[in-house]
Structure 1
Amino acid sequence: MLTYTIRRLVLSVPTLLFIALVIFMLLELAPGDPMAQVPLTVPSDVKEQMRIALGLDKPSYVRFWKWLLQIFWIEPKVFIDYLTSSTTLFGWLPDTALYERCVGLSNLDTCDYRALSWQTRSPVVDLVLQRLPQTLWVVGTAYVVGILIALPIGIYSAYRQYSWFDQAGTFVSMIGFSVPPFFSGVLVIVIFSVQLGWFPSIYDTTHTVNDWDSFVVQLKQMILPVMVLALQITAQISRFMRASMLDNLNQDYVRTARAKGLGETTVVMVHVLRNSMIPVVTVIALGVPLIFGGAIITEQVFKVNGIGQMLIGAIQANDLPTVQTLTFVFAFLIVMFNLIADVLYGVLDPRIRYE
């Protein structure tokens, strides 16, 4: 297993390099000009100086190489420095000081330059880290809630196939699959915020939790966006769980376990569930990065100031460094969680060997 994991980690490097090339070329060929947002009153020579300052006068291969250095070398060093000096979790470690910051004009030729947003001229990764907690509050909670609801529904629906519970679960799942978040989000706002007045319709990203009352306020403003995202997650995972359980309930080893006198709970919740979780693990693991992409619409509906709204704003402003970085982060998450899913296969099923 260790050899397989190391081999997959090594193979993920050329995969990510190819993904980075595709992302860069697609955005390079996309229509639009970063100078289109500049007012028409700005003289053309000033616009040209702005293009030079943004590095747009350089050839494509030079800008691509610079971006590769930023995402594979400079930003990881900055992130390690952040973990070892600014967080309570790893702050006890010695400060690595891997990143050399530019101070003054003496070392501009030797120090590293980070990927800067064309909108704010701030490092893109710093902007992502500022908005990431807001996204994790909503997306992370929705994903955990969706999984906790979906697994029992899928298990019981398969065990009581064609019962009223199974029919109701199938109906709710079809709704979750069919209704897009921009419709379900507006619908829950109209019902629970406008009509009933139970929950706020806009997510206040400036709210801080420091006591019980502020935690209740945070919980109330999270309910509607979490409800919308959890509905989609529950619909998908519960159907996969049901199908996998039905496939294993009719296997020979289940009849053998029952013939040995094992209790029905032990047969279903130990033997059948463990084998049924193998394909479901793939859906859960690969759904983590995908739900970040799906949360883009939800963040727009509920005005959550997360990375989804940041990506939409960057696309509208033609902020290519921000779009490139966020897209690559999503791709990186997909590659890494795919590896995690493959490793979990061997943990769930001892028959699977990669050596």
Structure 2
Amino acid sequence: MLNFTIRRLILAVPTLLFISLVIFLLLELAPGDPMAQVPLTVPPEVKEKMREALGLGQPMHVRFWKWIVQFFWIEPQVLIDHIFGTTFSEGDLRVISWQTRSPVMDIVVQRIPQTLWVVGTAYVVAILIALPIGIYSAYRQYSWFDQMGTFVSMIGFSVPPFFSGVLVIVIFSVQLGWFPSIYDTTHVVNDWDSFVVQLKQMIMPVMVLALQITAQLSRFMRASMLDNLNQDYVRTARAKGLSEYTVVMVHVLRNSMIPVVTVIALGIPAIFGGAIITEQVFKVNGIGQLLIGAIQANDLPMVQTLTFIFAVLIVLFNLIADVLYGILDPRIRYD
């Protein structure tokens, strides 16, 4: 397992380099100019100096190399300096946002907690709800509980976040007045009362995201459980006199979790895409809103960094899913 993990980590390096090149070229070839929002009264020579200050006058391969060095070498040093108080990154040039003229990673680090409050909580809640629903729906196939779970899953799949988000705002915020319609990102949790306020403003965005995730995971869990409940080893376990709880929750569940692990692991980066829409609806000042603002402002360094972070998450959680296969299924051996 250790050798497999090391091989996959080494293979991830050229994979990420290729992905970074694709992202860079796509954004470079995309239409638009960061100087388009500069007022027309600014003289052309001033605009040209501004372009040079942003690094736009350099050749494409030079800008790509600088971005790679900054992302893979300089920014990790900045993170180490921040954690341990060292000075490895002093004097190094960092990736600068064209829009704010601030280091890109500093802005990303400021926004990540807001996204994790919503996305992380929604994913944990969805897993805790979806897995029991999928297990019981498969065990009681075609029961009223199974039929109701199928109906709710269809709604979760069919309703997009931009509609369900507005719907819950109208119901729970405008009509009932239970929760705030706008997420206050400046709110600080320092006591019980402030925690209750934070919990109230999180309920609606978490509800919207968790509905989608629960619908997907519960269906995968149900299908995987149904496939294993009809296997020969289940009949053998029952014939040996094992209790029904042991058969279902120990033998069947462990084998059924193998394909579900893939969905859970790969869904963590994917849910950030759904969070982009949800953050716009509820005004959550997180990664999603930062990406939308950077696209609108044609801030290429910010867009490149955020999209590459999503790619890193996908590669990382692919590796985590593969490692978990070997833990869940003793038949899988990588070494």
Q: Which of residues 314, 320, 327 is equivalent to 2:294?
A: 314
Q: Which of residues 116, 121, 144 is equivalent to 2:124?
A: 144
Helix, strand or coil: the match of 1:28? Answer: helix
Q: State the aligned residue count.
A: 335
1:73 aligns with 2:63: no
- Distance in structure 2 (CA, Å) of the matches to 1:6 and 1:81: 26
1:250 aligns with 2:240: no
What residue number does 1:98 align with?
Answer: 88
What residue number does 1:22 align with?
Answer: 22
Percent identity (aligned): 85
The 5-angstrom pairing of residues 36-185 of structure 1 reads 36-85=36-85, 95=86, 97-100=87-90, 102=91, 112-185=92-165
The 5-angstrom pairing of residues 230-309 of structure 1 reads 230-309=210-289
1:208 aligns with 2:188: yes
Query: Cα offset for 1:98?
Result: 2.0
Any stretches of 5+ residues in structure 2 without a counterpart?
A: none
Query: Cα offset for 1:79?
Result: 1.4
Helix, strand or coil: the match of 2:265? Answer: helix
- Distance in structure 2 (CA, Å) of the matches to 1:256 and 1:79: 54
User: What TM-score do you get using the length of structure 2 for normalisation?
Assistant: 0.99
What residue number does 1:109 align with?
Answer: none
Helix, strand or coil: the match of 1:244? Answer: helix
- Distance in structure 2 (CA, Å) of the matches to 1:31 and 1:15: 26
- Distance in structure 1 (CA, Å) of the matches to 2:322 and 2:201: 36
Helix, strand or coil: the match of 1:208? Answer: coil
- Distance in structure 1 (CA, Å) of the matches to 2:197 and 2:94: 37
Query: Cα offset for 1:292?
Result: 1.1
Query: Cα offset for 1:80?
Result: 1.9
- Distance in structure 1 (CA, Å) of the matches to 2:58 and 2:33: 15
Query: Cα offset for 1:258?
Result: 0.3
The letter for the 2-side match of 1:41 is T
Helix, strand or coil: the match of 1:6? Answer: helix
Per-residue Cα deviation, 1:230-283 (whole angstroms, up to 9, x for no partner): 000100110000000000000000000000000000000000000000000010
Moved over 4 A (4+): none
The letter for the 2-side match of 1:70 is Q
User: What TM-score do you get using the length of structure 1 for normalisation?
Assistant: 0.94
- Distance in structure 2 (CA, Å) of the matches to 1:173 and 1:22: 36
1:192 aligns with 2:172: yes
Greater fraction of residues in helix: 2
CA RMSD, 1 decimal? 0.6
Per-residue Cα deviation, 1:83-124 (whole angstroms, up to 9, x for no partner): 223xxxxxxxxx4x3212x3xxxxxxxxx2100000111000
Any stretches of 5+ residues in structure 1 without a counterpart?
A: 86-94, 103-111
Query: Cα offset for 1:81?
Result: 1.7
